[in-house]
Amino acid sequence: MGMKIVGKGVQRLDAVAKVTGRARYSEDFFERDMLVGKVLRSPHAHAKVLRVDASRARALPGVEAVLVPGDPSWRPFGTAGHPWSLDPHHRDAQDRQILTDKARFVGDAVAAVVAVDLLTAQKALGLIDVEYEVLPFVLTPEEAMAEGAPLIHEGRDRNVLSDFGVGFGDLEAEFAKADRVFEGHFETSVVQHCHIENHNAFAFVDTDGRIVINSSTQIPHIVRRVVAQALDLPWGRVQVIKPFIGGGFGAKQDVVVEPLVAAMTLAVGGRPVRYALTREEVFIDSRTRHAFKMDLRTAVSKNGELKAIGIRLLSNSGAYASHGHSIAMAGGGNFRSLYKLDAVKFEPRTVTTNLPVAGAMRGYGSPQVFFALESHLEDIARALRLDPTELRLKNLIGVGYTDPLTGITVRSMGVPECIEKGKALIRWDEKRKANAQQTGDLRRGVGMACFSYASGTFPFSQEISGARVVMNQDGSITLQVGATEIGQGSDTAFAQMAAEILGIRFDMVHVVSSQDTDVTPFDPGSYASRQTSICGVAVRKAALEARDRVLAIASRKCGLDPAELDIQDCLIVEKALGREICTLEEVAMDSYYDRLHADPIRADVSANVRNSAIAYGATFVEVEVDLLTGKVEVLELYNIHDSGRIINPKLAEGQVHGGVSMALGAALLEQLLVDPATGRTLNNNLLDYKLPTILDTPKINAAFVETCDAGGSFGAKALGECPVISPGPAIRNAVLDATGVAFDKLPLYPQAVFEKFREAGVLGAEALAR
Amino acid sequence: MGMKIVGKGVQRLDAVAKVTGRARYSEDFFERDMLVGKVLRSPHAHAKVLRVDASRARALPGVEAVLVPGDPSWRPFGTAGHPWSLDPHHRDAQDRQILTDKARFVGDAVAAVVAVDLLTAQKALGLIDVEYEVLPFVLTPEEAMAEGAPLIHEGRDRNVLSDFGVGFGDLEAEFAKADRVFEGHFETSVVQHCHIENHNAFAFVDTDGRIVINSSTQIPHIVRRVVAQALDLPWGRVQVIKPFIGGGFGAKQDVVVEPLVAAMTLAVGGRPVRYALTREEVFIDSRTRHAFKMDLRTAVSKNGELKAIGIRLLSNSGAYASHGHSIAMAGGGNFRSLYKLDAVKFEPRTVTTNLPVAGAMRGYGSPQVFFALESHLEDIARALRLDPTELRLKNLIGVGYTDPLTGITVRSMGVPECIEKGKALIRWDEKRKANAQQTGDLRRGVGMACFSYASGTFPFSQEISGARVVMNQDGSITLQVGATEIGQGSDTAFAQMAAEILGIRFDMVHVVSSQDTDVTPFDPGSYASRQTSICGVAVRKAALEARDRVLAIASRKCGLDPAELDIQDCLIVEKALGREICTLEEVAMDSYYDRLHADPIRADVSANVRNSAIAYGATFVEVEVDLLTGKVEVLELYNIHDSGRIINPKLAEGQVHGGVSMALGAALLEQLLVDPATGRTLNNNLLDYKLPTILDTPKINAAFVETCDAGGSFGAKALGECPVISPGPAIRNAVLDATGVAFDKLPLYPQAVFEKFREAGVLGAEALAR
C-beta of residue A711 within 8 angstroms of C-beta of residue A534: no
Is the pLDDT at B764 greater than 70? The verdict is no
Task: Kindly state the DSSP code that residue A158 receives in the 8-state scheme.
Answer: S
Q: Tell me what the mean pLDDT of segment B545-554 comes to.
A: 98
Measured distance CA(A437)–CA(A432) in Å, rounded = 9
DSSP character at residue B128: -
Helices A727-739, A366-384: crossing angle, 10 deg rounding: 30
Judged by DSSP in three states, A456 sits in coil
Alpha carbon of A458: minimum distance to chain B alpha carbons (Å): 10
Check pLDDT > 50 for residue B340: yes
The predicted structure's pLDDT at residue B1: 56
Distance, in angstroms, between A16 CA and closest chain B CA? Answer: 7
Distance between CA A655 and CA A707 in Å, rounded? 18
**How many CB atoms sit inside 10 A of residue A576's CB?**
10
Shortest Cα distance from A94 to chain B (angstroms)? 19
Enumerate the residues of chain A whose CB falls inside 8 A of the CB of residue B593: 83-86, 462
* C-alpha to C-alpha distances, A17 to A13, A25, B209, B219, B300, nearest whole angstrom: 8, 11, 9, 29, 72
Q: Given an 8 Å threshold on Cβ–Cβ distance, is A208 in contact with B14?
A: yes
Distance between CA B110 and CA B98 in Å, rounded? 9
Contact at 8 Å (CB) between A519 and A480? Answer: yes
Choose the closest CB to A598 out of B236, B462, B599: B462
Q: How many CB atoms lie within 10 A of CB B279?
A: 14
B257, B103 in Cβ contact below 8 A? no
Which DSSP state fits B352? E
Helix residue spans in B355-475 (DSSP H): 366-383, 388-395, 415-426, 428-435
Beta-carbon separation of B207 and A16 below 8 A: yes
Q: Which amino acid is at A529?
A: S
Angstrom CA distances, B301 to A425, B177, B342, B393, stand at 103, 9, 12, 15
- Region B384-401 average pLDDT: 97
Which of A245, A590, A595 is the best residue to mutate to test the B interface, defined by the most B CB atoms within 10 Å of its own CB?
Answer: A595
Q: What is the mean pLDDT of residues B655-676?
A: 97
Q: Distance of alpha carbon B372 from its chain centroid, rounded?
A: 20
Q: Which helix (H) or strand (E) holds B344?
A: strand B343-352
**Strand A211-215 relative to strand A291-300: parallel, antiparallel, unpaired?**
unpaired
Q: Within 10 Å of residue A308's Cβ, how many Cβ atoms?
A: 25
Do B504 and B567 meet the contact criterion of CB atoms below 8 Å apart?
A: yes
Contact A207 B14 (CB under 8 A): yes
Please state, for a pLDDT cut of 70, what percent of chain B lies above it. 99
Q: Where are the alpha helices (DSSP H) in A258-365?
A: 258-267, 279-285, 326-331
**What DSSP string describes A53-90?**
E-HHHHHSTTEEEEE-TT-TT---B--B-PPP-SSGGG
Reading across the β-sheet that carries B63-67, which strands appear in turn? B63-67, B109-115, B35-41, B273-276, B200-205, B211-215, B238-242, B515-516
A602 burial (CB, 10 Å; 0-12 / 13-18 / 19+) is: buried
CA distance B272 to B35: 6
Q: Among the listed ranges A44-48, B457-461, B499-503, which one has the minimum average pLDDT value?
A: B457-461
Q: For the CA atoms of B654, B657, B662, B664, what is the dihedral angle to 10 degrees?
A: 180
**Rounded to 10 degrees, what is the CA torsion of A374, A376, A380, A383?**
120
CB atoms within 10 A of CB A58: 15
The crossing angle, in degrees rounded to 10, of helices B428-435 and B727-739 is 40
Q: How far is B213 from chain A (nearest CA, A)?
A: 16
A604 interaction partners in chain B (CB closer than 8 Å): 468, 602, 604
Contacts with A582 from chain B: Cβ below 8 Å: none
- Concatenate the DSSP letters of all residues of B633-689 into one string: EEEEEEEEEE-BS-S-HHHHHHHHHHHHHHHHHHHHT----B-TTT--BS--STTTS
Residue B33 has pLDDT above 90, yes or no: no
CA–CA dist B42, B69 (Å, integer): 13
* Cα distance between residue A243 and residue A241, in whole Å: 6
**Residue B171 contacts residue B379 (beta carbons within 8 Å):** no
Mean pLDDT along residues B491-509? 98
pLDDT at B769 exceeding the cut of 80: no
Residue B770 pLDDT level (bands cut at 50, 70, 90): very low
Do the beta carbons of residue B213 and residue B231 sit within 8 Å? Answer: no
Confidence check: pLDDT of B174 > 80: yes
Q: Which pairing describes strands A306-318 and A343-352: parallel, antiparallel, or unpaired?
A: parallel
Nearest by Cα to B541 from B596, B482, B588, B584? B482
What domains does chain A contain, in order, with CATH numbers? 15-22+464-608 (3.30.365.10), 31-135+199-276 (3.90.1170.50), 288-458+611-769 (3.30.365.10)
* Whole-number Å distance between alpha carbons of A418 and B338: 81
List of chain A residues with pLDDT < 70 = 1, 764-770
State how far the Cα of A526 lies from the Cα of A215, in Å rounded to an integer: 14
Which of B14, B522, B549, B611 is the best substitution to test chain A (most A C-beta atoms within 10 A)? Answer: B522
Q: Which pLDDT does position A765 carry in this prediction?
A: 52
CA distance B297 to B301: 14
- B207 and A22 in contact by Cβ < 8 A? yes
- Asked if residues A579 and A573 have their Cβ atoms less than 8 Å apart, the reply is yes
A451 strand-pairing partners: A617
Amino acid at the residue A207:
T
pLDDT at position B436 over 90: no
Question: What chain A residue is nearest to B29 in terms of C-alpha separation?
Answer: A31
Residues of B in contact with A478 (CB under 8 A): 236, 518-519
Q: How far is CA B187 from CA A618, B152, B169, in A?
A: 86, 24, 27
B17:A207 CB<8 A: yes
Asked if B593 lies within 8 A of A86 by C-beta distance, the reply is yes
Q: Are A279 and A142 in contact (CB under 8 A)?
A: no
| Spatial CA neighbour of A194 closest among A276, A282, A121 | A282
Among partner residues B225, B480, B598, which is closest to A464 by beta-carbon distance?
Answer: B598
Residue A1: what pLDDT?
A: 56
In this prediction, residue B766 has a pLDDT band, given cuts at 50, 70 and 90, of low
Backbone φ and ψ for A261, nearest 5 degrees, come out as -65, -30
User: Of A411, A296, A406, which Cα lies nearest the Cα of A707?
Assistant: A411
Q: What average pLDDT does the structure give for chain B? A: 96
Instruction: Among B17, B208, B594, select the one facing A86 at the smallest CB separation.
Output: B594
Strand pairing category for A477-481 and A509-512? parallel
Contact B412, B708 (CB under 8 A): yes
pLDDT of residue B112: 98
- Kind and range of the H or E element at A464? strand A464-471
Chain B residues touching A511 at Cβ < 8 A? 208
Asked whether residue B554 carries a pLDDT value surpassing 50, the answer given is yes
Let me know the angle formed at the C-alpha of B499 by B498 and B505, rounded to the nearest 5 degrees: 160
ipTM of the complex: 0.96
CB contacts of B604 in chain A (<8 Å) are 468, 602, 604
Beta carbons of B28 and B243 less than 8 angstroms apart: yes
Closest CA to B114 of B105, B124, B129: B124
Dihedral sign of CA atoms A681, A683, A684, A690 in order: negative
3-state secondary structure of A619: strand
| Cβ atoms of residues A217 and A223 within 8 Å | yes
Of B291, B270, B321, B280, which is closest to residue B159 (Cα–Cα)? Answer: B321
Q: Shortest Cα distance from B22 to chain A (angstroms)?
A: 6
Per-residue model confidence (pLDDT) at position A92: 94
Residue B80: DSSP 8-state: B
